[in-house]
Structure 1
């Protein structure tokens, strides 16, 4: 019964984010949103965009460290192109899941097993996101007196995440879990493919100690992206201290990881408006513009660069769909 209902429910998940987006606008004043949007000095936009370059260079460097730890040897600039292509797909899919499109490109270049490349891409995302969780914990501490439950929720979530990660770090436990899933949940015709996929998950699995430096580097990428968005706060003359925005806006960004709309469209804006209008005497319309325009100038702009890179790669080696089809044929 549940399996039959889920595909039906899944069709309507993207509507949730759109509903939240429309609902947020409905609760605000559309004319004030428009006024705030056009009151942003274009000079600030010209300042924001160039900071995308160091952000993606630093994050790709962190990913390269994890690649080398797993003996996945890809030149830095090739890795950057693959990263940008994955970013493009991530920016147009729910929960940024499209980032996994890095895998077929890595496979094409390295010839490494899909399972190993899946783990590499997943670990990079987890490590990068975990650095944001630490920032959220600091943010929750800043508003401890106003929202005491927020700190407990953030700390509890991090503890649960650490327990889950600790469980899967050990090969025996991880393989046991995935084999149970395959045995009982995967159709018989696909079991062999999934067993083959899972068997390479722990091939040259990175040492936990080797992931601390990439996580540390991740802080700088988050600081850059939230500083880019803070320039919009400054442009609109909103009374939000920089350190509060730096550690609280990640909460709104976290809502974007809920896999219901493309790149968190609607959920981010809804969370940002509630959070900042509650804590600071600022108009909801203006923080709405900060969230939406910030998303356009950071994530969507980076995704657009990735789109251009993907077009260039498509011209060189055929369409992405054809490449994926060929990879699937090889799996057979």
Structure 2
């Protein structure tokens, strides 16, 4: 029910924004598109999608789930397409069910999907903090809050992996809310998840960060070219990066169609 209303809210926001901008103005913009910049931006979509698929393939391979890069590319892009039309990109979770059908447990399948999503989240968190520093006088409290959040998340992640205390507490809480008939299967999947998440080393995380940085760099360049294609030349690349980073956060909110209602 929440997803349904979130989807509706996103559509309404998108329609209101279009109405505010004016349909005629939008048509005029499209009629003046520079197709050289536009074509170059479209061409960058292929390496962008490939790097994202390669990152997910690497994450899976590290935990022993072996797929060809071709299959990973197809599965990842199908899930992205489904995520594009679902609130908060929840459709990307369809990758879990595909991996499960290939004789992997839900717990094991969940690891690669979670890490793939968290890679983007942590990158955006960090870059948002860096971006806000340029506007320090306006965002002092926000910068402090984000710094605390990032520091807390890093500590929590390290502590959760190295210590069993959080795992025990988390397990007890879930045991209270999960129906009895699902507890056995949930327990197996939970242990599979923890077992697989511990297989990653610092080098693995650094390589995942590299792929993430590379994919977002291409996305920033692609966005810059799209702006150039519609004749917007007055926005510096740095400010565009800041705007796109914030928009990246917004797309994670479950109130729009791939963030269209809130961008």
TM over 0.5: yes
1:260 aligns to what? Answer: 255
Deviation of 1:258 (Å) = 0.6
Structure 1: how far apart are the matches of 2:195 and 2:36? 49
Is the CA contact 1:17–1:266 (under 8 Å) kept in the aligned structure 2? yes
Is the CA contact 2:6–2:87 (under 8 Å) kept in the aligned structure 1? no
What is the number of residues matched between the two proteins? 260
Residues 240 and 147 of structure 1, relative CA distance in 2, 3 Å threshold = farther
Structure 1: how far apart are the matches of 2:18 and 2:141? 28
Is the CA contact 1:139–1:248 (under 8 Å) kept in the aligned structure 2? no
Classify the secondary structure of the residue corresponding to 2:256.
coil
2:69 aligns to what? Answer: 76
TM-score (norm 2): 0.87
Structure 2: how far apart are the matches of 1:49 and 1:220? 17
1:284 aligns to what? Answer: none
Structure 1: how far apart are the matches of 2:214 and 2:6? 33
Classify the secondary structure of the residue corresponding to 1:257.
coil
Structure 1: how far apart are the matches of 2:165 and 2:68? 33
Structure 2: how far apart are the matches of 1:83 and 1:171? 32
Root-mean-square deviation over aligned CA pairs: 2.3
TM-score (norm 1): 0.70
Q: Is 2:152 the counterpart of 1:157?
A: no
1:149-194 per-residue CA deviation (whole Å, 9 max, x = no partner) reads 4433432332343244334324624542442233221223332332
Is the CA contact 1:40–1:232 (under 8 Å) kept in the aligned structure 2? no
Q: Is 2:187 the counterpart of 1:195?
A: yes
1:288-308 per-residue CA deviation (whole Å, 9 max, x = no partner) reads xxxxxxxxxxxxxxxxxxxxx
Classify the secondary structure of the residue corresponding to 1:72.
coil
Unaligned 5+ runs, structure 2: none
2:6 aligns to what? Answer: 13
Unaligned 5+ runs, structure 1: 1-6, 270-332
Residues 34 and 152 of structure 1, relative CA distance in 2, 3 Å threshold = farther
1:116 aligns to what? Answer: 108
Structure 2: how far apart are the matches of 1:90 and 1:174? 31
